[in-house]
């Protein structure tokens, strides 16, 4: 197992600066996801690590070894591409055995290693099938087997599930997690799909449109305690609230009293669990907050559920049924629309609000996250 480090890496293509003084540390043996919008530089990072592109300046380390100028074939790093890049004229066995054949490994050892790795990825019954005879999920596993046959220190995965349908993608995600735990290889997973990243990663880094890292942390931390509005909106769906500080009582009660914009109510924010540091006197300062849609309870009667300390009435402006939940957009003021996920628990507990209906949104101050913006 080896960690990966990029130190002050810069990379441009012509006049376009893709990475500027970019730093990243991927822990050894981790399943690390690099998540960001298209064009933010994720694939460029992968190609620099793999040795397919060269940095303009900066350093790349694999463990204690600097590999900045090391040729791709001398790096203990393999890649699984989005299109798999399998050889259509070779069967499953020979696709996986290809790199061993290049190294002129003895035939009996080739057979031993290939069959073992195919059992690991559950392809031992498809050993001699052609690539065209395989499903998309099976082809993806052939690509994985070919990438790990040489036991690399690091496996790079460049949106490897993009070509799979939803059900197959969910199944392969589970297999990827199990494979990484068994191999204990460092996985760097490149994706713009937030659900994939949240599902597979031990840790994840969120990149913005400018190629800067906004936040690094465990998936639960990224989702429940986003640092910025970009992270809050990019990873999942959120409601953004804004307000001005009326009272700063942190010296006495660890609380801020905030007058919320677009809502005729105030928010008492407990500061004991805040992640971000705040200046001493915040009176008059404008702050921004995230409130996740599933944290809001929706009722058709003005009866607040137990434990909820904020209520706003509003009008339903759209309803989208998702099976396990229904997404409601509720206008609670002229300038604020709440997005609410209402879980469809049972037929008897099914909110039957329609477009135009008056409903009541209920939420807790404890579920509001202060953002750094």
Condensed to tens digits (0 to 9), the pLDDT of residues 353-369 reads: 899 999 999 999 999 99
Structure tokens at 71: 């040729």
Across the range 244-253, mean pLDDT stands at: 89
Give phi and psi for 158, each to the nearest 5: -100, 90
124 CB-near residues (< 8 Å, 6+ apart): 115, 118
How does residue 31 score in pLDDT terms, banded at 50, 70 and 90?
very high
pLDDT at 361: 95
- CA distance linking residue 191 with residue 169, whole number of Å: 13
What is the fold of 237-290?
A: OB fold (Dihydrolipoamide Acetyltransferase, E2P) (2.40.50)
pLDDT: which is higher, 199 or 337: 337
CB neighbour class for 172 (10 Å; exposed up to 12, middle 13-18, buried from 19): buried
pLDDT: which is higher, 7 or 150: 7
- CA distance linking residue 4 with residue 27, whole number of Å: 7
Q: Reduced to 3 states, what is the DSSP secondary structure of residue 266?
A: strand
pLDDT at 138: 87
Going from N- to C-terminal start, the domains of the chain cover 4-233, 237-290, 293-365
- CA distance linking residue 19 with residue 59, whole number of Å: 13
For residue range 50-79, what is the model confidence (pLDDT) as tens digits? 999 999 999 999 999 999 999 998 999 998
- Residue in 168, 164, 165, 160 with CA at minimum distance from that of residue 84: 160
363 CB-near residues (< 8 Å, 6+ apart): 291, 295, 296, 297, 308, 310
Across the range 249-277, mean pLDDT stands at: 86
pTM above 0.85, yes or no: yes
- CA distance linking residue 318 with residue 354, whole number of Å: 8
pLDDT at 129: 93
Pick the CATH number of 293-365 from 3.40.50.620, 3.40.190.80, 2.40.50.100, 3.40.50.720: 2.40.50.100
The CATH code of the domain at 4-233 is: 3.40.50.300
Give phi and psi for 340, each to the nearest 5: -130, 130
């Amino acid at each position: 197992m080896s960690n990966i480090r990029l130190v002050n890496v810069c990379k441009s293509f012509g006049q376009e600066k893709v990475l500027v003084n970019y730093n990243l540390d991927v822990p050894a043996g981790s399943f690390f996801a690099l998540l960001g919008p298209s064009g933010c530089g994720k694939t460029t990072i992968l190609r620099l690590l793999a040795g397919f592109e060269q940095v303009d300046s900066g350093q790349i380390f694999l463990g204690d070894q600097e590999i900045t100028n090391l040729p791709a074939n001398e790096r203990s790093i393999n890649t699984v591409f989005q299109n798999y890049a399998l050889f259509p004229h070779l069967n499953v066995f020979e696709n996986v055995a290809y790199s061993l054949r290049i190294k002129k490994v003895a035939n009996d050892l080739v057979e031993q290693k290939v069959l073992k790795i195919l059992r690991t990825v559950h392809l031992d019954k498809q050993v001699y099938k052609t690539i065209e005879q395989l499903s998309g999920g099976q082809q993806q596993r052939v690509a994985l087997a070919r990438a790990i046959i040489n036991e690399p220190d690091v496996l790079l995965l460049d949106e490897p599930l993009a070509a799979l349908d939803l059900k197959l993608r969910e199944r392969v995600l589970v297999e990827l997690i199990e494979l990484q735990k068994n191999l204990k290889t460092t996985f760097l997973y490149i994706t713009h799909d937030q659900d994939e990243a949240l599902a597979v990663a031990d840790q994840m880094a969120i990149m913005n449109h400018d190629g800067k890292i906004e936040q690094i942390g465990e998936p639960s931390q990224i989702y429940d305690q986003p640092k910025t509005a970009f992270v809050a909106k990019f990873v999942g769906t959120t409601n953004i609230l804004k307000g001005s500080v009326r009272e700063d009582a942190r010296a006495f009660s660890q609380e801020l009293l905030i007058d919320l914009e677009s809502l005729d109510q105030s928010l008492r924010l407990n500061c004991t669990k805040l992640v971000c540091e705040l200046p001493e006197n915040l009176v008059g300062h404008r702050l921004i907050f995230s409130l996740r849609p599933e944290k809001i309870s929706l009722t058709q009667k003005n009866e607040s559920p137990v434990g909820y300390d904020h209520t706003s009435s509003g009008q339903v402006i759209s309803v989208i049924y998702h099976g396990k939940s229904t997404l409601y957009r509720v206008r609670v003021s002229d300038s604020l629309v709440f997005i609410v996920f209402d879980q469809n628990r049972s037929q008897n507990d099914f909110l039957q609000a329609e477009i135009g209906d008056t409903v009541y949104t209920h939420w807790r101050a404890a579920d509001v996250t202060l953002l750094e913006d």
